[in-house]
Chain A
Amino acid sequence: MKFTINWLKEHLDTKYNEEKIIDKLTNVGLEVESFESQSSEQDEFVVAKILNTEQHPNADRLSVCNVDIGKNKIVKVVCGAPNAKKDLITVYAPPGAVIPKNQMKLSISKIRGVTSYGMLCSESELKLSDESEGITELPSKKYNNQIGKKFFKNNKQKVIDLSITPNRADCLGVRGVARDLSAAGAGKLKKFDESKIKFKGSEKIRVKIIKEKNQGCSTFGSCLIKGIKNTESPKWLKDKIIALGQKPISAIVDVTNYIMFDLNRPLHAYDADKIKEGIIVRNSKKGESFEALDNKKYILQDNMCVISDKSGVLGLGGIIGGTRSGTELDTKNILLESAYFYPKSIRKTSKLLNIDTDAKFRFERGIDPESIEEGLVKAAILIQKICGGEISKPDVQKTETFKKIQIKFSITFFQSITGFKVAEKEIMKILTNLGFVIKKKNNDLNLTVPSWRPDILQPIDIVEEIARIKGYDQIKTELPEKVRDKPTLNKQQKLFHFLQRSVASKGYLETVTWSFTDSKINQLFKEDMNEVKIVNPISSDLNVLRSSIFSNLIIYLKKNLDRGFKDISLFEIGPIFNGNKPGQQKIVLAGLRSGKVSRHNWIEKERLVDVFDAKRDAIQSLVEAGFDQNKIYISDKAPSYYHPGKSGSIYLNKNENNPVVYFGEIHPNILKKIDIKTEALVCIEIYLDNIKETSKKLKDQKIQYQYSDYQKSERDFAFVIDKNFKVQDLINIISEVDKNLIRSVKVFDVYEGENIPSDKKSIALNVTIQSSEKTLKDEDLEKINKLIISTVESKSGAKIRS
């Protein structure tokens, strides 16, 4: 919503200066987006100084000037003026500028083989005088510190641009803005100039609103003006239209636009001679079409509100008119339309046809249904003033009578919501100034809502009106009490935050990537999950919700690899999606590590990251989060995007149904498909929703601390065992030989090759044995050794290596 201060003052009698008006607008809730001078074509002409001149190499009468045009810019300009000399201050026009004298648009051009960037102008070219001998000479005393500044003073009025919230339809007209300001004490709302007009006759064009279901129009006012001479608008009107950021068209169009922005009353003007036998307001039929004033042809659906005549559709009511009945400069007789269209109908139609116009924007928010005649009359008078003609008596057709809303408002309600008090008298004054009609009854106010405020429906709306006019600075600051009745985070949230920081502490950088991704990449990771398509994605490579965090993370890893980084660890914790219904999502932490460990290190041997790095990161994080390492169970199953031989899953204990972690190398085929070049790439995924909430807190899970001071012994074993036999099972067999005595089992060597059958491997283990009751004697140790060997051999088919 744009207007100038002077325009505002046509409605508001105020002593406020610009600054105070701007502040007041902000304070009543009319947000000032900008308050600036309109840009002008003449802004491009700047004061410039010739630094030096050289003879043009190919033309005796031309010189090449180096010109300082301000902001540390120096340009070369070819100039034929004899007075173009060093240190001359003159006016420079850049490429793109339009020379006032001949309306020529400048471009970068070669003049006899030398490129000239713009032009130095003579007074005649600038229309300052008839002087065309040589370029403008500006007195250096006055202009020496103006180099680079605009030469022409911009004396256009500053334009206020308001961002009007969708509830404030009434402030889409200057008068509405003035009314709010006056209620807030910024001045007095001027009374309408009630000049009586004389109607000549009651000739009219017949209008009929068809009574049908979904009829989008309730009232249609019209006024016939005959014998006019359409013309260019007078200057005052043109200036207003330009201030709105629009182009003046003709007096008739400009007047209807002016009334719309002035009073928030959209109008439409038809060439009356082009209407065939009267107007019918009706629902459209599917397939009807018309050519609109935006020069587009629209094909209509059923039930759109159209203004039509015998020959068909003239326009879409309240949205856009048609070319068939449009006014032109030779139009003689016009029919003005001032109507009420239902917001819902407007919105539905404009959405379907994807049309946005100033009229649609206003009708959609709700126009004052009682402004129909006022708008007609005001426009008709203006048109008559500019174009002459005779005005017939307006005609208003109605299918429904507008009823004003009544609200019962209790004054104490205001304080209970806002926390501060406004005296009853002042409340009444504010509401009266806003246009409410008040009847006081005991402590209640019976309010009649003004017809231009469709947003006000219930007492809370009244609270807001009083509060915003009185000023939000009246609201007190009640500092909060530092009391906490409930824990801030629940267990799952704590786990989320713990794992996030735990994984980060393993050297991973946390990222946040979109929840959507490219379906082509997502397919590689989605397994049997449902892919969720976005109906209206912002681009085709962000067209589905991610089924895996890797769909994004791996692409960003690739981008970083392409930047030349090799050893990268990234992770993200966030949602993945399995359906388009609320709740069909899971929280996953996914991490990727690429490249080497200890690259270019003088003391450590560098090596590729491998699946056991990933496994360490996952298990260490779980253990830090409070899960028992001894209960953790590893399976070699993992989703298909993992390397089939170098991946696995982690269960918090053997009896759980769902793994909490997958880890491993990414499948080489996927790396190939995405074209990732890295020496090694491993990853982890932690499924937070698969981690069941424990009923006890960690502090309650700990049993009493027991330790043994008796001597502990270590024994080493080496077993030759089937290649496929899992070390995890071997360790379990040993641990379970005597849970009281065997404190730990460590694997210190795995060997395949020479001296070992090709289907076997050798596993070397270190077992710690300690009793909590006594110091073990040699024969005790011997006994347990033998038991370990015999148990392992019988349960696993392994042989102790001698």
Chain B
Amino acid sequence: MSDIIKIKEKYLNKLKDNLDLNAVNQLKSELFGKNGIISNEFKKMSSISIEDRKKFASDLNSIKNELQILIEKKIQNIQINEINFKLKNEKVDITLPERSFNRGKIHPVSQVIDEISSIFSEVGFSVQEGPDVENEYNNFTALNTPENHPARDMHDTFYLDNRKEFLLRTHTSPVQVRTMLSGKPPFKIIAPGRTYRSDSDQTHAPMFHQVEGLHIDKNINMGHLKGCLNYFIKEFFEVDKIKMRFRPSHFPFTEPSAEVDIGYELKDGKIIIGEGDKWLEILGCGMVHPNVLKNVKVDPSKFQGYAFGIGIDRLAMLKYGINDLRAFFESDYRWLNHFGFDPLDVPSSYRGLSR
């Protein structure tokens, strides 16, 4: 009986020492190995009288547990200390650069097209596209701009054949013609895309981007046009208030026609949209001319509506403070990096158009 208590005390004492892992394992096998002291005590069990056996077993078990726990704890401590010791030598200079990554960017024109599409999507416009190469009829004649009309001079056109039958579209309006010819009213579309005019200087590029809008239905009037553009401008520039002015103008394919100015002011050389007493022309629009409707087989006595055309590059310049139109098309690595957008930054109405 006292044997096992002695054993216990002896080993508790031994375990108090500052031992290394080997020493602890040595003690562990002395006690619990095949011929370990405790193991041997268990073997004695059968030789103990039945009345004493129960108590002996209970005492032995509790001693066994106590020592075992102590030893395991000791081992764990030693291991943790060993790890801690090792960690002291594992310190890296965490200020060294991370592994490399390449960040791509979306061009401002693409980003703005997505923004525009998102805004018009909310009020039910769908996106239509047309070819960059157009025939003379779709680009001019169907749009009430017959040959010999001086309005043609306003469009410096790139021609693709000597008979001037095929050309690079000078505006996105031929998409109106294609859309209406291939379907039945109502129509409610926007058509963003590349457009071309053969002039080139600081403020004109031979290629630029427009978005066309067209809404034809019964009873669509200029009030709807104004409301739609008011909504668009406000959403696009992400301002609460917008000052907008409709000015009479002339386009052969709309009548009445208007040009739209928005109010702005200059603050520290930056354009602030929506305030101020200066006006900036940003788009042309009007009610689709009955001649155009007739040309695309829509009955103007039953259907009417509006169309507009907006310069996308110019909108991008205004919103994102880009000064030089030509730079849009020069693919300068530095410019693309500076003005480009992260590919994950997809404009949407619920997350906001821009960050």
Are A512 and B329 within 8 A (Cβ)? Answer: yes
Question: Does B78 make an interface contact (CB < 8 A)?
Answer: no
Could you tell me the distance in whole angstroms from the C-beta of A155 to the nearest C-beta in chain B? 28
Are B343 and A486 within 8 A (Cβ)? Answer: no
Question: Does B29 make an interface contact (CB < 8 A)?
Answer: no
Question: Does B311 make an interface contact (CB < 8 A)?
Answer: no
Question: Does B103 make an interface contact (CB < 8 A)?
Answer: yes
In the complex where A27-B248, A166-B154 touch, is A534 in contact with B160 (Cβ < 8 A)? yes
Closest to A344 in B: B148
Please tell me which one of the listed residues A420, A485, A601 contacts residue B124 in the complex, with CB atoms under 8 A apart: A485
Please tell me which one of the listed residues B99, B127, B138, B198 contacts residue A488 in the complex, with CB atoms under 8 A apart: B127
Are A167 and B250 within 8 A (Cβ)? Answer: yes
- Contact string against B for A residues 4-19, beta-carbon threshold 8 Å, 1 for contact and 0 otherwise: 0000000000000000
Are B124 and A483 within 8 A (Cβ)? Answer: yes
Please tell me which one of the listed residues B194, B219, B227 contacts residue A574 in the complex, with CB atoms under 8 A apart: B194
* Interface size classification for chain B: 35 or more
Count residues of A near B (Cβ-Cβ below 8 Å). 98
Question: Does A582 make an interface contact (CB < 8 A)?
Answer: yes
- Stretch of B1-9, B58-66, B83-91, B114-122 contacting A (4+ beta carbons < 8 Å): B114-122
**How many residue pairs between the two chains, A and B, have CB atoms under 8 Å in the bound complex?**
265
Are B104 and A504 within 8 A (Cβ)? Answer: yes
Contacting residues, chain A, for B161 (C-beta < 8 A): 535, 580
Are B160 and A556 within 8 A (Cβ)? Answer: no
Are A464 and B256 within 8 A (Cβ)? Answer: yes
Question: Does A473 make an interface contact (CB < 8 A)?
Answer: yes
Could you tell me the distance in whole angstroms from the C-beta of A501 to the nearest C-beta in chain B? 4
Are A29 and B249 within 8 A (Cβ)? Answer: yes
Are A463 and B256 within 8 A (Cβ)? Answer: yes
Are B194 and A417 within 8 A (Cβ)? Answer: no
Are B228 and A480 within 8 A (Cβ)? Answer: yes
Question: Does B230 make an interface contact (CB < 8 A)?
Answer: yes
Closest to B225 in A: A475
Are A29 and B123 within 8 A (Cβ)? Answer: no
Closest to B138 in A: A582
Measured CA separation A603–B97 after assembly (Å): 9
Are B121 and A534 within 8 A (Cβ)? Answer: no
Are B249 and A464 within 8 A (Cβ)? Answer: no
Are A478 and B224 within 8 A (Cβ)? Answer: yes
Please tell me which one of the listed residues A458, A485, A532 contacts residue B160 in the complex, with CB atoms under 8 A apart: A532
Please tell me which one of the listed residues B134, B221, B245, B340 contacts residue A417 in the complex, with CB atoms under 8 A apart: B221
In the complex where A478-B224, A484-B124, A560-B333 touch, is A580 in contact with B133 (Cβ < 8 A)? yes
Could you tell me the distance in whole angstroms from the C-beta of B292 to the nearest C-beta in chain A? 11
Are B122 and A477 within 8 A (Cβ)? Answer: no
Are B206 and A585 within 8 A (Cβ)? Answer: no
- Stretch of B34-42, B105-113, B262-270 contacting A (4+ beta carbons < 8 Å): B105-113
Question: Does A418 make an interface contact (CB < 8 A)?
Answer: yes
Please tell me which one of the listed residues A458, A501, A512 contacts residue B328 in the complex, with CB atoms under 8 A apart: A512
Contacting residues, chain A, for B132 (C-beta < 8 A): 515, 575, 577, 585
In the complex where A476-B226, A509-B337 touch, is A166 in contact with B149 (Cβ < 8 A)? yes
Measured CA separation A349–B120 after assembly (Å): 45
In the complex where A509-B333, A510-B107, A565-B333 touch, is A348 in contact with B247 (Cβ < 8 A)? no
Please tell me which one of the listed residues A488, A505, A534 contacts residue B117 in the complex, with CB atoms under 8 A apart: A488
- Interface secondary structure of A, over-half rule: loop
In the complex where A473-B246, A536-B159, A582-B138 touch, is A514 in contact with B329 (Cβ < 8 A)? yes
Question: Does A703 make an interface contact (CB < 8 A)?
Answer: no
Please tell me which one of the listed residues A464, A473, A507, A537 contacts residue B104 in the complex, with CB atoms under 8 A apart: A507
Are A460 and B246 within 8 A (Cβ)? Answer: no
Are B125 and A506 within 8 A (Cβ)? Answer: no
Within 8 A of B (CB), among A319-354: 343-344, 347-348
Are A460 and B331 within 8 A (Cβ)? Answer: no
Could you tell me the distance in whole angstroms from the C-beta of A513 to the nearest C-beta in chain B? 6
Are A477 and B150 within 8 A (Cβ)? Answer: no
In the complex where A344-B148, A468-B256, A484-B122 touch, is A501 in contact with B222 (Cβ < 8 A)? no
Are A417 and B287 within 8 A (Cβ)? Answer: yes
Please tell me which one of the listed residues B104, B121, B123, B129 contacts residue A505 in the complex, with CB atoms under 8 A apart: B104
Within 8 A of B (CB), among A514-542: 514-516, 532-538, 542
Question: Does A779 make an interface contact (CB < 8 A)?
Answer: no
Contacting residues, chain A, for B154 (C-beta < 8 A): 166
Measured CA separation A570–B346 after assembly (Å): 20
Are A29 and B104 within 8 A (Cβ)? Answer: no
Closest to B304 in A: A417
Question: Does B158 make an interface contact (CB < 8 A)?
Answer: yes
Are A509 and B255 within 8 A (Cβ)? Answer: no
Are A510 and B133 within 8 A (Cβ)? Answer: no
Question: Does A701 make an interface contact (CB < 8 A)?
Answer: no
Question: Does B100 make an interface contact (CB < 8 A)?
Answer: yes
Question: Does A508 make an interface contact (CB < 8 A)?
Answer: yes
In the complex where A477-B227, A512-B329 touch, is A418 in contact with B222 (Cβ < 8 A)? yes
Contacting residues, chain A, for B120 (C-beta < 8 A): 488
Contacting residues, chain B, for A563 (C-beta < 8 A): 332-334
Question: Does A365 make an interface contact (CB < 8 A)?
Answer: yes
Closest to B107 in A: A510
Question: Does B171 make an interface contact (CB < 8 A)?
Answer: no
- Contact string against A for B residues 189-229, beta-carbon threshold 8 Å, 1 for contact and 0 otherwise: 00000101011100000110000000000010111111110
Measured CA separation A236–B343 after assembly (Å): 66
Could you tell me the distance in whole angstroms from the C-beta of B234 to the nearest C-beta in chain A? 10
Closest to A567 in B: B102
Closest to B228 in A: A480
Contacting residues, chain A, for B97 (C-beta < 8 A): 601-603
Are B257 and A464 within 8 A (Cβ)? Answer: yes
Measured CA separation A715–B269 after assembly (Å): 68
Closest to B199 in A: A538
Are B133 and A585 within 8 A (Cβ)? Answer: yes
In the complex where A504-B343, A559-B331 touch, is A537 in contact with B100 (Cβ < 8 A)? no
Contacting residues, chain B, for A489 (C-beta < 8 A): 117, 126-127
Are B158 and A536 within 8 A (Cβ)? Answer: yes
Question: Does B27 make an interface contact (CB < 8 A)?
Answer: no
Within 8 A of A (CB), among B272-306: 287, 289-290, 304
* Residue picked from B109, B133, B198, most chain A C-beta under 10 Å: B133
Could you tell me the distance in whole angstroms from the C-beta of B91 to the nearest C-beta in chain A? 16
In the complex where A509-B104, A560-B333 touch, is A481 in contact with B114 (Cβ < 8 A)? no
11 further A-B pairs in the complex, CB-CB below 8 A; given A416-B219, A486-B126 = A28-B248, A168-B250, A416-B221, A418-B256, A464-B255, A479-B231, A515-B196, A534-B159, A563-B334, A577-B133, A582-B135
Where the two chains meet, the residues of B that have a C-beta atom closer than 8 Å to any C-beta of A are 96-97, 99-107, 109-110, 114, 117, 120-127, 129-135, 138, 148-151, 153-154, 158-162, 164, 166, 168, 188, 194, 196, 198-200, 206-207, 219, 221-228, 230-231, 245-250, 255-259, 287, 289-290, 304, 328-334, 336-337, 340, 343-344, 346
Could you write out 5 A-B pairs with CB less than 8 Å apart?
A168-B250, A417-B287, A482-B123, A484-B123, A509-B340
Q: Which 8 A-B pairs have CB atoms at the shortest separation, nearest pair first? A: A507-B102, A29-B248, A419-B223, A165-B250, A556-B331, A468-B248, A419-B221, A504-B104
